[in-house]
């Protein structure tokens, strides 16, 4: 009120104001300093009281991600059967120490940048967090292929649509597995020829972004299963070539394309370290490479953001 009074006095140039708590000669600057001191005192009091009572100053924890990331989140939440929701979906959680929960969220490649709320719910309590999603910086990739692999006739289009339908079905299949999404190793060591998210141009025409990671290696190099899982689809596809889809549970599904040949079978369980196939150049490929794609609960995520266990122990931050 005093501040407002001073402001109004200054605005209408009243030289002899009638209401003043201090000397009439006090300058506006002195009043501003007094107001500032008062605000700082109130803030400090709040901090001291909060710390004394053990109240958290920030009610919600915050997480940062870019498009295509898998984010590991956690919360302290007493009670059993915690569940986690974000982007309108449920995400897998794992119990940590007593009253502590760990969860994973997949940020789709096309997720709009912005702030999202994550909701934790246990039998008796609720908690929330905030996820900041930033735009990913994806490079441009240009490839040149034979005309029939860029402009499709009716027969090719029918095959492409059937291939997409098979993939969609496989991505939605349920696989029962342990609650962990950490892989033991990458399926192939080699040079990344096209990174995840690359904006692609085929024969100069813009195409949908690259939803996997292309790893180049000599033809015939074994591709190793990074985690135990069930073979959901084995198919020779028009663009993806010889393709194997494996489900690892908790909505984690991986696709391996352009293989030299197909020799695993749908419905079988593949152990960690088992051979999925060999590097080839079937389908639309400019050289021998593996296209490794990862879907997590329907989100198209960067294979490089999967947590990797080293010697049975997880890398820092995973
Ligand atoms: Zn690819």
**Which residues, listed in sequence order, are joined to residue 213 by a DSSP beta bridge?**
292
Residue 246, domain CATH: 2.70.70.10
- Higher-pLDDT residue of 243 and 96 is 243
Report how far ligand 1's centroid is from the alpha carbon of 148 (Å). 18
Cβ atoms 266, 234 nearer than 8 A: yes
Whether residues 92 and 198 share a domain: the answer is no
pLDDT at 42 (0 to 100)? 61
- State in Å: Cα 235 to ligand 1 middle: 16
- Asked if 257 and 237 touch (Cβ cutoff 8 Å), the reply is yes
Q: Is the model's pLDDT at 121 over the cut of 50?
A: yes
**Mean pLDDT of the 188-216 span:** 91
Instruction: Kindly state whether residues 67 and 119 are assigned to the same domain.
Output: yes
Residue scoring higher pLDDT (228 or 315): 228
* Beta-carbon neighbours within 5 Å of ion ligand 1: 212, 214, 291
- The answer on 49 and 65 residing in a single domain is no
For residues 12 and 70, state if they share a domain. no
Domain boundary among 134, 162, 195: 134
Smallest Cα–Cα separation from 194: which of 257, 125, 277? 257
Cα–ligand 1 centroid distance for 291 (angstroms) = 4
If DSSP codes are grouped into helix, strand and coil, which group holds residue 249? coil
Distance 57 CA to ligand 1 centre (A): 46
Structurally, the chain folds into a number of domains equal to: 3
Measured in Å, residue 286 CA sits from the centre of ligand 1 at 10
pLDDT digits (tens, 9 = 90+) for 126-141: 999 999 999 999 988 8
Q: Is the pLDDT of residue 254 over 70?
A: yes
Find the CATH number of the domain harbouring 76: 2.60.40.1590
pLDDT of residue 20: 38
Q: Judge contact between 129 and 61, C-beta under 8 A.
A: yes
Distance, in Å, from the CA atom of 136 to the CA atom of 159, rounded to the nearest integer, reads: 32
Contact of 291 with 277, CB cutoff 8 Å = no
Which of residues 53, 72, 94 is at a domain's end? 53
> From ligand 1's centre to the CA of 107, what distance in Å?
19
- For the cut 90, the answer to whether the pLDDT of residue 79 exceeds it is no
Give the per-residue pLDDT at 71.
96
Domain end point (choices 73, 106, 134):
134
Q: How far is ligand 1, taken at its centre, from the CA of residue 184, in Å?
A: 22
The residue with tokens 């506006």 is 28
Please, where are the H alpha helices in 128-283?
A: 154-171
* Percentage of the chain lying above the pLDDT 90 cut: 59
269 shares a domain with 189: yes
- What pLDDT score was predicted for residue 3? 42
182 plus 199 within the same structural domain: yes
- Distance from Cα 214 to the centre of ligand 1, integer Å: 5
User: Ligand 1 center to residue 212 CA distance, Å?
Assistant: 6
Residue range of the domain that includes 104: 61-134
Strand partners, 73: 103
> What is the per-residue pLDDT for 27?
65
Backbone angles phi, psi at 53, to 5 degrees: -85, -5
Indicate the pTM of the whole model. 0.77
**Residue 254 CA to ligand 1 centre (angstroms):** 13
**pLDDT score at 4:** 39
Considering the domain architecture, whether residues 112 and 192 belong to the same structural domain is answered as: no
* Residue 69 sits in the same domain as residue 49: no
End-to-end CA distance of the chain, in Å?
A: 53
- Please tell me whether residues 73 and 201 are part of one structural domain: no
In a shared domain, residues 145 and 15: no
Q: Are residues 296 and 182 both part of a single domain?
A: yes
Distance CA 124, CA 129 (A): 18
Weakest mean pLDDT among 20-34, 185-199, 287-301, 304-318: 20-34
How many whole angstroms from 194 Cα to the centroid of ligand 1? 7
The whole-number pLDDT of residue 146 equals 84
235 in the same domain as 109: no
Query: What separation in Å is there between the alpha carbon of 160 and the centre of ligand 1?
Result: 15
- For the chain, the average pLDDT equals 84
């Amino acid at each position: 009120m005093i501040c407002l009074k001073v402001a109004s006095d200054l605005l209408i140039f009243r030289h002899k104001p009638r209401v003043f708590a201090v000397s009439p000669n006090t300058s506006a600057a002195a009043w501003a300093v007094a107001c500032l001191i008062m605000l700082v005192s109130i803030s400090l009091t709040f901090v001291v009281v909060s710390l004394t009572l053990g109240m958290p100053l920030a009610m919600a924890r915050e997480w940062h991600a870019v498009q295509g990331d898998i984010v590991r989140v956690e919360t302290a939440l007493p009670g059993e059967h915690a569940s986690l929701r974000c982007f309108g979906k449920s995400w897998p959680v794992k119990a940590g120490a007593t009253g502590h929960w760990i969860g994973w969220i997949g940020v789709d490649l096309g997720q709009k940048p912005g702030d999202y709320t994550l909701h934790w719910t246990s039998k008796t309590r609720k908690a929330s967090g905030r996820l900041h999603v930033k735009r990913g910086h994806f490079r441009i990739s240009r490839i040149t292929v034979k005309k029939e692999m860029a402009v499709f006739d009716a027969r090719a289009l029918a095959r492409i649509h059937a291939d997409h339908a098979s993939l969609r079905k496989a991505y939605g299949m349920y696989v029962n597995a342990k609650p962990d999404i950490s892989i033991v190793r990458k399926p192939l060591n080699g040079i990344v020829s096209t990174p995840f998210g690359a904006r692609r141009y085929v024969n100069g025409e813009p195409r949908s972004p690259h939803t996997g990671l292309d790893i180049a290696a000599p033809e015939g190099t074994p591709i190793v299963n990074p985690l135990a899982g069930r073979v959901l689809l084995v198919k020779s596809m028009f663009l993806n070539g010889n393709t194997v889809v494996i489900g690892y549970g908790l909505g984690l599904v991986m696709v391996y394309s352009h293989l030299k040949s197909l020799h695993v079978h749908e419905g079988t369980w593949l152990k960690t370290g088992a051979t999925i196939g060999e590097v080839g150049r079937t389908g639309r490929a400019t050289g021998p490479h593996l296209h490794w794609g990862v879907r997590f609960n329907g989100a198209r995520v960067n294979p490089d953001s999967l947590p990797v266990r080293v010697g049975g122990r997880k890398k820092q931050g995973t």
